[in-house]
Structure 1
Amino acid sequence: MQIRTPAVAGMFYPGEKNELKQSIKESFLHKFGPGKFPPSNDRKKIFGIICPHAGYMYSGPIACQSFYAISSDIPELFIIIGPNHWGVGSNVATMKDCKWETPLGQVEVDSDTAEKISKITNIIEIDSFAHSREHSLEVQIPFLQEMASNFKIVPISLIDQRKDVSIEIGKSIAKIAKEKKTMIVGSSDFTHYEPNEFAHEQDLALIEPILELDVDRFYEILQERNVSACGYGAIASTMVACKELGATKGELLKYATSGDITGDKSSVVGYGSIIFT
């Protein structure tokens, strides 16, 4: 079985096990995080989440809001969808016969499910190369490892993030999630490298249709405002899948920018934590 070694350990998050555990703990306890460590006591039915994927010092606390929300009921499978920043490999790619390694250990890819979803739609191809350097999925896994010990993943990376593609991916994911206890994780940051106030305006406008599960309006605002959210297709796929599964709304747990965290508000990146219920 192939081992997918970490691409961004020591950069986006600490490369040493104990330092990484401490970083995750600090993210959960941060003032922009949930302020406590999982598991939560909330039994709310959550179909999927949106998480950021920057360095833990910037977006870790925001990501922990979503992870804390789902920590009372850990599924057997996490389908993690994110943008392919490097543009390598297939336009939409999953993988199989692989374990993803982080400083906290290894997590196995659910090969049977990856194979199944690639047959439900020919849009999703089996291609490990597409995942070789990508951080948007990798940075989610240590958080999951700290919360759970027995789960598998199906990673899906997107070069093609058009609306029709995202809708088909979302519907395919929903078919899987109807058969197996699954949590869908859409990985995206929001506005990139704009002044703080402008980023807040742009992102809160884009988040509005996300909370309403309105994919058409989401893409309209994305284009009208030219919002530089990198994983917009991952967000849309997650919205579609959750709506197919019975979600009626999204809930914004926390929005903040890198500037809100560091104090440098001249050029920021936006981060949102959203759950679908």
Structure 2
Amino acid sequence: MNSVSARPPAVAGMFYPAAASTLRASVDALLAAAPALPMAQPKAIIVPHAGYIYSGPTAARAYAALAPWRQHIRRIVLLGPTHRVAVRGLALPTVQAFATPLGDIRLDGPAMAALDELPQVSRNDAVHALEHSLEVQLPFLQRCFDDFTLVPLAVGDAEPEEVAEALERLWGGDETLLVISSDLSHYLPYATAQQVDGDTCRHILDFDARVHPRQACGAYPINGLLLAAHRHGLQARLLACCNSGDTAGDRERVVGYAAFAFASSDHG
């Protein structure tokens, strides 16, 4: 593949290790430390996107649970919020791959083309260039799955129905996994964050698609997923919830993290 058609990593060496061997060992250690959580095959997960020392253990809870379907899941639809460049609706890149220190991930061109028909979807490389919410998930995906293609969507200001419509286009079967990248509350005192994040988790478990960006930076993709998942009769399960005060930060101003899995009640 022509390297000029790949988005290079923007936060390697900041949010996660830049050296391939160190990154591989770091992700594998996080996955190995995650407890086994027997469940039906998840159709979707919500995972945090801070630096691995902060939110890596929480994200690993969801990723480790996908191990039984390592070879079966072949397409990842990845949605995350925009932190650097504002955008209306959902933005796809124009490149053919996303690169990490572990190698290139092929993008699913036909699936992305199917989204081009939607008025809320645009092509915008600038939105993706420095965005970490999607990038920090990529090494986890590379270590969890043998061979897959990626549909990366940076979600700006978008109505839940607009996000749900895009998800429906790509819903697919058991070969497709939906991944929503989001942290929870930002910079609250430890005890306050616990209360706020606990309430947010209850809203998500109740499929209440009115999560506010103050509750979760990925509120827009979360709300779209909740709408689509409810329509498909999925059940939500909270796998982990903590904050940076529990992992690698002080407790004065913390960031909240949670991991969820969504699966069919009659599956598996």
Shared fold (TM-score greater than 0.5)?
yes
Report if aligned partners of 2:114, 2:169 keep a CA contact under 8 Å in 1. no
Could you report, residue by residue, the CA deviation over 1:7-64 in whole angstroms, capped at 9, with x for unpaired residues? 000000000011101211232244xxx246xxx8x46131100000000000001001
Report if aligned partners of 1:199, 1:270 keep a CA contact under 8 Å in 2. yes
Could you report, residue by residue, the CA deviation over 1:139-195 in whole angstroms, capped at 9, with x for unpaired residues? 00100101112101101112214xxx2222213212321368311111100011111
The one-letter amino acid paired with 1:254 is A
1:25-64 map, 5 Å: 25-30=28-33, 34-35=34-35, 42=38, 44-64=40-60
Runs of at least 5 residues in structure 1 that lack an aligned partner in the other structure: none
The one-letter amino acid paired with 1:211 is L
Residue 90 of structure 1, CA deviation: 5.6
Tell whether 2:56 aligns with 1:19. no
For residues 28 and 163 of structure 2, the distance between their equivalents in structure 1, rounded to whole angstroms, comes to 33
For residues 212 and 82 of structure 1, the distance between their equivalents in structure 2, rounded to whole angstroms, comes to 21
Runs of at least 5 residues in structure 2 that lack an aligned partner in the other structure: 264-268
The one-letter amino acid paired with 1:154 is V
Q: What's the C-alpha RMSD, in Å, of the aligned pairs?
A: 2.0
TM-score normalised to structure 2 length? 0.89
Match of 1:265 in 2: 251
Secondary structure at 2:85 match in 1: coil
For residues 110 and 205 of structure 1, the distance between their equivalents in structure 2, rounded to whole angstroms, comes to 36
Match of 2:99 in 1: 101
For residues 61 and 8 of structure 2, the distance between their equivalents in structure 1, rounded to whole angstroms, comes to 27
For residues 35 and 230 of structure 2, the distance between their equivalents in structure 1, rounded to whole angstroms, comes to 29
Q: Percent identity?
A: 32
Could you report, residue by residue, the CA deviation over 1:67-111 in whole angstroms, capped at 9, with x for unpaired residues? 112221141111111111012566420124421110111101101
The one-letter amino acid paired with 2:261 is I
For residues 77 and 160 of structure 1, the distance between their equivalents in structure 2, rounded to whole angstroms, comes to 25
Tell whether 2:162 aligns with 1:159. no
For residues 183 and 257 of structure 2, the distance between their equivalents in structure 1, rounded to whole angstroms, comes to 5
Tell whether 2:62 aligns with 1:66. yes
Tell whether 2:260 aligns with 1:274. yes
For residues 251 and 180 of structure 1, the distance between their equivalents in structure 2, rounded to whole angstroms, comes to 18
Rate the CA distance shift 1:177–1:195 in 2: closer, same or farther, 3 A: same
